[in-house]
Amino acid sequence: MRMRLLIGALALVVAALAGGCGGGSDGSESSSDSDWPYFGRVPERTHYRPDAPQPPFKVDWRQRETTLVEFPPVIGNGTLFLVDKKGKATAFDTESGNVEWRRSLDSRDVTGPAYADGRLFVALQDRVLHALDADTGKDDWTFKASSTLQSSPLVVDDTVYFGSDDGTVYAIDTENGDRRWSFRAQGPVKSSPSYTEGHVYFGDYKGNVYSLQASDGKQEWKTDTTSLPPGGGGGFYSSPALAFGNLYEARNDGTVYALHLSDGKLAWQKDTGQPIYGSPAAAEVPGTPASVYIGGNSKLLYALDADDGDVRWRYNVGGQIPGTAVVVNDTVLTTSFQDQRTYGIDARSGKRVYEFPADGYTPAVTDGTRVYLIGFEAVYGLEPSG
């Protein structure tokens, strides 16, 4: 039954998103307004928090849901916000796990939420972006897009950015829902935009990667990855990680690309040979070179050198990896539905240091006090047990 659910979910969309930082930092820049406010934690979507607790963990609380949790929750102001596959939004107290409110949004959800300044932003397949009051779950405003939404919103300052299935990328005022600008890509935009230093980056489902000016949406460069080695015709579910002067992005045919942020030219590529639906994580964990962590249908979690794409190590989790790795402190968390477990891999050695009997698309988020592990239909509040 679980395998049928997995196949169905992958057929619709199995996306995840990634981030890093521009220039040459370690990808750990502090997020604004909350501890993990959107998919990837920072606008560059690195999926990395260096001051997170280390395994082993003990379960402090558990909340079991009744519907598939495809995208991870976000954390803001002491509250963990989750939206399940059927569009039910729930707010949990991070300390106790108690439910603060629930709200059905009456549409399918295939994106991750975003939190900023007391609002929760949720993009749904019925084309509506909801801005919810984070204290009550009630709508502050809604915005109707021109097509269905599979792109997780990103909030930077007073603007929320997201894409749509007709290729339109939007920049919307967070206060009132007014459109600031829109841009039309050549293919559907199922992946989620990332941001650094006044620029918005994303990939489309025809294999193009774009850089836009965040202020007005003007295109700065576009790279057609189907014209780059090794060729092919895949598109992007994966969202870009921006770190170490590069954009890291995984095409759904299994090719990982590193493009220079300045001009979109190819830095390197790695063909994994099997489809990838998750996003890369980027981190420079102490004692390691700057690295990109990515897994897919090959069953392998890769640690790639961020400068040249060389394989630092690979770990076989025993089943396909459906989503995005998360780096907490010096441990890389990943998961597989086939063996129904989450694994912690040492970022330095590539050896397994932790496992937990639950599985989700993207394994965890953290506020620096607890790690919140996401199962197929559950969320666990974990504390260090050592």
pLDDT in tens, the chain (386 residues): 333 333 333 333 333 333 333 333 565 554 444 489 999 999 999 999 999 999 999 999 999 887 778 889 999 999 999 999 889 999 999 999 999 999 999 888 889 999 999 999 999 999 999 999 999 999 999 999 999 999 999 999 999 999 999 999 999 999 999 999 999 999 999 999 999 999 999 999 999 999 999 999 999 999 999 999 998 889 999 999 999 999 999 999 999 999 999 999 999 999 999 999 999 999 999 999 999 999 999 999 999 999 999 999 999 999 999 999 999 999 999 999 888 899 999 999 999 999 999 888 889 999 999 999 998 888 999 999 87
How high is the pLDDT of residue 15?
34
**Count of domains in the chain?**
1
Query: Where in the sequence is the domain holding 38, given as residue range(s)?
Result: 2-384
d(CA 293, CA 306): 9
Q: Write the CATH number for 67.
A: 2.130.10.10
Among 61, 63, 92, residue whose Cα is nearest residue 79: 92
CB 30 within 8 A of CB 41: no
Instruction: Give me the pLDDT at residue 33, please.
Output: 40
Statement: the pTM of the whole predicted model exceeds 0.75: yes
Residue reference for tokens 């102490």: 286
Q: Report the DSSP beta bridge partners of residue 91.
A: 81, 101
Residues making up the chain, counted from first to last: 386
Interatomic CA distance for residues 208 and 150, integer angstroms: 17
With tokens 């909801």, the residue in question is 130
For β-strands 246-250 and 241-243, DSSP reports them as antiparallel
